[in-house]
Amino acid sequence: MKSIDQTNFSGKKVLIRVDYNVPLNEQFEVTDTTRIERTKETISNITGEGGIAILMSHLGRPKGEVNDKYSLKHIVKTASAILGKEVHFLGDVLDPETPNKIAALKPGDIGLLENLRFHAEEEKGDLEFAKAIAKLGDCYVNDAFGTAHREHASTATIVKCFPGKSYAGYLLYNEAANLDHVLQNPVTPFTAIIGGSKVSSKLNILNNLLDKVDNLIIGGGMAYTFLNALGVKIGNSLFEEDMVPVAKEIVKKAHLRGINLYLPIDNICADKYAEDANTYTTTQNHIPDGWEGMDIGPKTIRMFADIIKNSRTILWNGPLGVFEMKKFSNGTHAIALTVATTTISGAYSLIGGGDSIAAITKFDLGDYISYISTGGGAMLEYLEGKALPGIKALNEDE
């Protein structure tokens, strides 16, 4: 795919698909501006060259109907503050007045179209709707990595309307490049740390990573299904009975491929899922009935840290315990610190997934990680080895 550095946007009306699906509070104020901030570089580059930036996005799930609650006009003030210049609200893509509003914009200006999902055709990937959007601009830039796994009119179909004039913005380009770096050219030893609550939601990632990693560390709630599969008593810990055969299969595959698979060897247990629970640390792996594993124990931390310290590429998705509760955050904190210090000593690290980002932010270690992927569902599908329609469309463009 072509990056925006491969062309000049001077005097061009540039349709830029961004992911401004940001959280709003009851006063319709943006409560997390990260997604807007991460598009700034692309937009500034285009407007700096004298292009006219026409931003387009979805917000929430209006299900094909106009709904003021999901209007992108609510984010105009915040976007203007972050992008450093007035963002002109352009109204709906099919409103006959919209082309006039765009014609009034000058080189370097920024406009924002109304929520594209007010039209059901957007999510259907409808070609006629894509053509209607395309009429408003001279070329297309996709900087919405978070929506790249959707085959929608503004994320994939529209590329057909701009043959040879479709580009990847920096955010999309960098997300894909960093994920490719890990999946295709990892410096070895390559270690993946996979945590979180459920085996079922990470199953495809685990399977895809089995072809690529040297070490696979499994922690968090999902580790207990693996431990159960190996005959370990797990008490009341998180458990997915139907995933036991799958867990056994993964353990077997790892063994046959010579991949080192590491599971917790001790646990911090609680007598209830609560901050004020009584806790106890197992000296070996078995967890008695009435207790549930909430975090990895000190021996496990040491074992996982030794593996991580000797790695040159580290991929981390999913916390290693219930890190939201202080009592059960030590494991995730210790591993976050180890990943950060190993990165400082020259390893490459990539962290992704909402809870892993929340953890690294909570421990204030984000500056010491090589790349933090904010792609959410799109990143998970990329790690599963799937071709994302938004990226595929750009790759197939001439």
Q: Which 48-107 positions form the footprint of ligand AMP (CB under 6 A)?
A: none
Distance CA 143, CA 42 (A): 8
Between strands 292-296 and 267-270, the pairing is antiparallel
x-or-dash string of contact with ligand AMP, 151-190, rule CB under 6 A: ----------------------------------------
Stretch that binds ligand AMP, among 115-123, 126-134, 314-322, 338-346 (CB under 6 A): 314-322
CB of 261 to ligand AMP, least distance (A): 18
Distances (CA, A) of 74 to 27, 36, 77, 87, 142: 9, 13, 7, 12, 22
Q: Which 191-210 positions form the footprint of ligand AMP (CB under 6 A)?
A: 195-198, 201
Q: Does 269 bind ligand AMP (CB under 6 A)?
A: no
**Residue positions counted in the chain:** 398
x-or-dash string of contact with ligand AMP, 9-48, rule CB under 6 A: ----------------------------------------
Please indicate whether residue 91 is annotated as part of the active site.
Answer: no
Closest by alpha carbon to 79, among 48, 53, 97?
A: 53
Q: Which of 77, 377, 385, 392 is catalytic?
A: 377
Between strands 190-194 and 166-168, the pairing is unpaired
Q: Which of 50, 60, 64, 354 is catalytic?
A: 354
Residues 153, 124: contact at Cβ < 8 Å? yes
Q: Does 220 bind ligand AMP (CB under 6 A)?
A: yes
User: Whose Cβ is closer to ligand AMP: residue 9's or residue 226's?
Assistant: 226
296 Cβ contact list (under 8 Å, min separation 6): 219, 223, 264, 266, 267, 268, 304, 320, 321, 331
User: Whose Cβ is closer to ligand AMP: residue 26's or residue 242's?
Assistant: 242
Q: List phi, psi (to 5°) of 30.
A: -75, 125
Residues 164, 398: contact at Cβ < 8 Å? yes
| Closest residue to ligand AMP: CB criterion | 196
x-or-dash string of contact with ligand AMP, 223-252, rule CB under 6 A: ---------------x--------------
- Judged on CB neighbours under 10 Å (0-12, 13-18, 19+), 260 is middle
User: Whose Cβ is closer to ligand AMP: residue 107's or residue 377's?
Assistant: 377
Q: Does 353 bind ligand AMP (CB under 6 A)?
A: yes
Helix (H, G, I), strand (E, B), or coil: what is residue 266?
A: coil
CB of 233 to ligand AMP, least distance (A): 15
Distance CA 230, CA 219 (A): 15
Please indicate whether residue 257 is annotated as part of the active site.
Answer: no
Closest by alpha carbon to 182, among 164, 208, 163, 200?
A: 208
CB of 101 to ligand AMP, least distance (A): 41
Please indicate whether residue 77 is annotated as part of the active site.
Answer: no
Distance CA 73, CA 379 (A): 28
In this chain, which of 221, 264, 375, 376 binds ligand AMP, going by CB under 6 A? 221
Q: What token pair was written down for 240?
A: 């997915």
CB of 321 to ligand AMP, least distance (A): 5
Q: Does 319 bind ligand AMP (CB under 6 A)?
A: yes
Distances (CA, A) of 106 to 49, 68, 70, 101, 351: 12, 28, 28, 11, 40
User: Whose Cβ is closer to ligand AMP: residue 201's or residue 278's?
Assistant: 201
Please indicate whether residue 63 is annotated as part of the active site.
Answer: no
CB of 237 to ligand AMP, least distance (A): 6
User: Whose Cβ is closer to ligand AMP: residue 18's or residue 216's?
Assistant: 216
Q: Does 355 bind ligand AMP (CB under 6 A)?
A: yes
Q: Which of 40, 77, 85, 198 is catalytic?
A: 198
Q: What is the Cα 129 distance to its own chain's centre?
A: 27
**What string of DSSP letters covers 135-197?**
TT-SEEEE--GGGTTS--TTTTGGGGGSTT-EEE-HHHHHHHHHHHHHHHSPPSSEEEEE-SS
User: Whose Cβ is closer to ligand AMP: residue 10's or residue 201's?
Assistant: 201
CA dihedral of residues 378, 379, 385, 389 (deg, nearest 10): 30
CB of 139 to ligand AMP, least distance (A): 37
In this chain, which of 293, 375, 376, 390 binds ligand AMP, going by CB under 6 A? 293
Q: Which residues are catalytic?
A: 35, 198, 354, 377
Binding site for ligand AMP (CB under 6 A): 195-198, 201, 220-221, 238, 293-294, 318-319, 321-322, 324, 353, 355
